[in-house]
Structure 1
Amino acid sequence: MRSMSKDACEVHITIHRLDELSVSLRQAWHRAMDESPEYANPFLSPEFATGIGRYRGGARVAVLHEYGEPVGFFPYERNSLGVGRAMGLGLSDCQALVHRPGVTWDAQELLRACGLSIFEFDHLVEEQKPFGRHVTGMFASPVIDLEHGEGSYAEWLRGAYPGLAKTTLKKERRIGRDLGEVRFVFDERDPRVLRTLMQWKSAQYRRTGRMDRFARPWIVDLVDHLFQVREEHFTGVLSVLYAGDRPVAAHFGPRSHTVFACWFTAYDPEFRYYSPGLIMHLRLAEAARRDDVRLMDLGRGDKEYKDWLKTRELRVGEGFATRPHPVAAAHRLWRRPVRGLRNTVLAHPTLRESADRLLKTVGTWRTSGRADSGAAGPRAR
């Protein structure tokens, strides 16, 4: 453990491995999440950070103390050169220094205490003002506000989404006629269905030319681990839409006691004409509402279904917090143009559509090659 102090009588920062975090520090972290709605997202919990730490050797958390009391928690990953990144960068849809109300801190002092020359983030909570001058772009992150109430799924759907209700309910009835009774399980505990979801998602990544996350064994292991976590501030929830006894769509994502984060959704492409992905999200939102979730976070990104479902948008930041250091300059010079090009493409519909077509063409070549070689799907334990 290392420590430093900005002011010996005010702020003291200690650095911890996630697997050595004490029960009292975890409780203080949870308390900071509870006291500010901006930090209620399950991706900001110690459970998620600990899960990353099981499979990523450089995972750490900086703990801010005021007058001896832990008041802030900054999870991050660090390599041997002092290059830092947000915890689970590329997987996490929410990043922040989680702190109690009124706590002040300095980004440069924080990076120095963590031994970081640079810290990269892409889903930073907008409230994080000390990182403000390091933000290179702000992006919409659509959410659904959920109000608890009674009534059937159909009644809720007609009230919340009158434009979608008629066609969605019609497609659900059609699935029932063609395949068997439609059944939705909000919290499915069968790990075999989690395997099915990962196989569907892996195939979707390949078809669309995207990086196959589930081709990376550590991500498969992480999802397996988080599926087993059942805590107040982080529960891994697998939700499944069945037609008869057959799963046709599934979602896995974390929830805290008030926020549900959409993460991995996929469906059996054989039934794509029934719109199982959209049905899945609507069923998920209604079930989360019944389970006292207040906010469903759809995550950053432009997708048509998000525009249909959102009630408002949060703002998340992307950028690089740096200290004067040659490693920081080199890393920023390498990474910023890549992010800038991607954001330019995503911001322009014509460029985005062209890029999607190109990626799908690449995906067709890739899947054809895998079929010819008999390649296997994602690793399953």
Structure 2
Amino acid sequence: MSIQVVKAQDLSPADIARWEELRRGQSRLDSPFLSPQWTLAVAKAQGDKGHEVKVAIRRGPEGEAIGFLPARVRQDVAMPVGAPMCDYQALITAPGVTMDPRDLLAALGADRIDFCHMMADDVTLARHARGQADSWVVETPDGYEAYAAERKAAGVGVLKDIEKKRRKAEREVGPCRFTAMSESRAAFDQLLAWKRVQLLLTHQTDLFKTPWVNKLLDELFAMRGPTFGGGLYTLHLGERLAAVHLHLRGEHTIHGWLIAHNPDLERYSPGLMLFQDILKSMDGTPYTRLDLGTGDYRFKRELSNAQQKVVFGFLGSPSVPTLVRHAVYGVRQMAEALPLGRISEIPGKAMRRMDLLRGLH
């Protein structure tokens, strides 16, 4: 068995079809971030740097593809495709198929592979994790009403609270109007404007200054395929735009991605109202899962009824890049073990910021 590496843009139609075939039927791989279409969209958006987006393909004895790992390779380091915009990574294989990490490094021509949202059940890479987090998931296989009853039985009152705020908003502002798969460019632009203000106020990096990020968002906003693409969801109160979400869609999963709301209407929690509308709209469609992603936020804990563990870490061969990464993780782990409050978080935050900037450029 061998590992072949090709540029994403050179993937053959047969290999793209095989990638999709391997994902089909494995709910753990249904995320749109694990689709070949995500990798292709990122490579296209990154323009003259798109050649850095590569796919390692493990082939069986007859030359058939049995495993795929996409990565962006820069300066001898492989990183997730589309980072920091990518919320999941995994090796795409049939059940039980793995790749030797040393063979992966050699094939990619990399000294190190970094990952930040690797699925915790990935048997090839997850064992090299240095930490983990929960991705919060809402599963609605039996529809919204069954989900709402389950939340109520669990003693979680978030849906009742949303309904109460909805009634108050309709009395004081105007009737709610929900639109799924909106084609409104004005709403899309408003979402990005609200997100930029949000990033500025919270002293975070403005992702939207990076040209390839904007090109990627434009491309995904326009993609309406049945098994991959963007989905713009809007909520109006009267004539006022109250909240906008741009999510990614897989075959059965909607992944919560970019969310923002009108700050003048914040007291009504319009973002939560929009999440509730999206969940209701999934009835009678192929979608049975709304993935809210990582982040320990109260609304995610209360809406979710399942979790998917993801891990962060790296694997590397003996080299300077690997030694540097070992040292940085060592400092981070030592600081986080000390009872210094927020000071203990500084190395981890600095590391995440450095990784974010690496991904953007």
Tell me whether the two structures share a fold, i.e. TM-score over 0.5: yes
**1:351: how far off?**
3.3
279-288 or 64-73: which moved more? 279-288
Q: Quick one: structure 1 residues 193 and 318, their matched pair in 2 at CA, closer, same or farther if it must change by over 3 Å?
A: same
Deviation at 1:70, TM superposition (A): 1.0
Contact 2:3 2:103 in 1 (8 A): no
The 3-state SS of whatever aligns with 1:299 is strand
1:224 — aligned with what?
218
Alignment match of 1:249 (pick from 243, 259, 274): 243
TM-score (norm 2): 0.86
Q: 2:232 — aligned with what?
A: 238
| Alignment of 1:205 onto 2:196 | no
Aligned to 1:50: 40
Identical-pair percentage: 28
| 1:1-381 map, 5 Å | 11-56=1-46, 57=49, 58-67=52-61, 68-79=63-74, 81-149=75-143, 158-162=148-152, 163-334=157-328, 336=329, 344=336, 351=342
Task: Give how far 1:144 is off.
Answer: 0.9
What's the secondary structure of 2:216's corresponding residue? helix
Cα gap change, 1:322 to 1:205, in 2 (>3 Å): same
Q: Is the 8 A contact 1:83 1:328 kept in 2?
A: no
**Equivalent residue, structure 2, for 1:363:** none
Structure 2 CA distance for aligned equivalents of residues 72 and 125 of structure 1:
16
Residues 66/158 of structure 1: CA separation in 2 closer, same or farther (3 Å cut): closer
2:355 corresponds to which residue? none
Partners of 2:120 and 2:311 within 8 A in 1: yes
Secondary structure at the aligned position of 2:24 is classed as helix
Kept in 2: contact 1:156–1:286 (CA 8 A): no
Compute the displacement of 1:207 (Å): 1.1
- Equivalent pair of 1:239/1:252 in contact (CA under 8 Å): yes
The offset of 1:349, in angstroms, is 12
Check the 8 A contact 2:118/2:126 in 1, yes or no.
no
Q: Is the 8 A contact 1:232 1:257 kept in 2?
A: yes
TM-score norm. by structure 1 comes to 0.82
Shift of 1:340: 5.0
Letter in 1 for 2:342: L
Matches of 2:334 and 2:208 in 1, distance apart?
25
What is the CA–CA distance in structure 2 between the aligned matches of 1:46 and 1:90, rounded to whole Å? 17
Contact 1:250 1:267 in 2 (8 A): yes
Q: 1:205 to 1:340 in 2, by over 3 A?
A: farther
| Alignment: residue pair count | 336
Which residue type is aligned with residue 147 of structure 1? P
For 1:7-59, what per-residue CA distance to the aligned partner results, in whole angstroms no more than 9, with x for missing partners? xxxx2221111222121111101111113222111000111111111233211
1:226-283 Cα distance to aligned partner (Å, 9 max, x none): 1122233312111111112321101111111111111111001000000112112222
Q: State whether residues 237 and 253 of structure 1, in contact with CA within 8 Å, keep that contact through their aligned partners in structure 2.
A: yes
Q: Structure 1: 5+ residue runs without aligned partners?
A: 1-10, 356-381
Q: Distance in 1 between matches of 2:33 and 2:260?
A: 20
**Cα distance in 1 for residues equivalent to 2:216 and 2:334:** 30
In the alignment, the residues of structure 2 paired with residue 92 and residue 185 of structure 1 have an alpha-carbon distance, to the nearest angstrom, of 25
Distance 1:73 1:157, change over 3 A: closer
Range that drifts further, 168-177 or 286-295: 286-295
Tell me, yes or no, if the aligned pair for 2:138 and 2:303 is still in contact at 8 Å.
yes
Is contact 2:140-2:146 (8 Å) kept? no
Question: Shift in Å at residue 326 of structure 1?
Answer: 2.0
Q: Which stretch shifts more, 241-250 or 265-274?
A: 241-250
SS of corresponding position for 2:310: strand
